Structure 1
């Protein structure tokens, strides 16, 4: 896991907490950089597979309304930057990290469908994976 992923996740979490959006000026360069890194490190087939399968999964999640577009572009960018296996880990760990966040916002706003800053959960997942790789 790279320092770029940690910094990007931290900026995305800050933006998401303040405005409930993750700006395209953060996610689009991450997708471009992730694509270049993936092409260089993993080759065109893994990069294309990550884009196609990851993009299809993101589209499916977006259509269900579970996550917003900025969150999904961020997750796909991390899958490209860090590798498809790390991308799956980040998705899984961010879903786990979102559970207490979801419960907190559900109780605070007394609603069954609270709007949560999901980039905070993504930051927790990226931080955990970075820490695990360094240990």
Structure 2
């Protein structure tokens, strides 16, 4: 992944995390910005991911995001971030991101239970999943 693009996406995800921790809402413009970045870099040829795989990643993100929104009570902003990350990293990359998110989300859930909280911001887990993806991809 291009370092500049990865840095911009990390900044956007960090902003989403701060918003999620403060207000439990993630602004739509963040997900839209990540999605636009994914499509533009793919169409410009700056990415190893062809536009077909960008679309497939977005569709997988849509399925996963809707499922988590509907059945696991994940927030709508979180689901939209999953869709946009699917566009950015493609279907295989999204599975890696989701694995990291699940681990980080489990840790956050334990922390929330210890604190007696029934609601938790999932933005930090999404950010952690993407950071884990970047760490793994950089080793390949």
* Structure 2 residue 93 is matched with structure 1 residue 97: no
User: What pairs up with 1:54-133 in 2 under 5 angstroms?
Assistant: 54-109=61-116, 114-133=118-137
Name the CA distance, whole Å, in 2 between partners of 1:99 and 1:56.
21
Q: Is the 8 A contact 2:100 2:129 kept in 1?
A: yes
CA RMSD of aligned residues (A): 2.0
Q: Which has the higher contact order (CA 8 A, sep 6+)?
A: 1
Residue 12 of structure 1 corresponds to which residue in structure 2?
16
Q: TM-score, normalised by structure 2?
A: 0.80
Structure 2, unpaired ranges of 5+: none
Structure 1: state its 5+ residue gaps.
none
- Give the TM-score normalised by structure 1: 0.83
Equivalents in 2 of 1:52, 1:89: separation in Å? 16
Post-superposition, which runs of at least 4 consecutive aligned residues in structure 1 deviate over 4 A? none
